[in-house]
Amino acid sequence: MVKRLLTGLISLSIIVGGISIAPKEAQATHDYCYQASTVQPGSTVNMRLYPNKNGKVIGSLVDGQYVKVLNYSGEWAKVITYSGKKGWVHTAYLDYACS
């Protein structure tokens, strides 16, 4: 009875609140093995248009967000998010998360 009630509540939460138990962005996959790593938890990492610190900021990654690395230019990595956003991130802010 308790298990059935709990399952129902979880299902209701997913339907009503749009909550995902295991969101796609919260898990490393074969291609999306790099995770944004900030100095201060809860902060963001800038994604830039060009691979340098003067490149225009075109977006950001939240701490712990998974990305796929497309290529490198020196200490910069061109990444793509699950949603398809592409940009350059300094490699100091990326951790390899796949085993």
Residue 54 is assigned to a structural domain of this protein = yes
pTM to 2 decimal places: 0.68
Residue 3 is assigned to a structural domain of this protein = no
- Comparing C-alpha atoms, which of 46, 68, 50, 71 is closest to residue 59? 46
pLDDT digits (tens, 9 = 90+) for 19-71: 333 334 455 556 788 888 877 777 899 999 999 999 999 999 999 999 999 99
CATH at residue 61? 2.30.30.40
- How many folded domains does the chain comprise? 1
**Structural domain span for residue 67:** 30-99
Tell me the three state secondary structure of residue 91: helix
Residue 18 is assigned to a structural domain of this protein = no
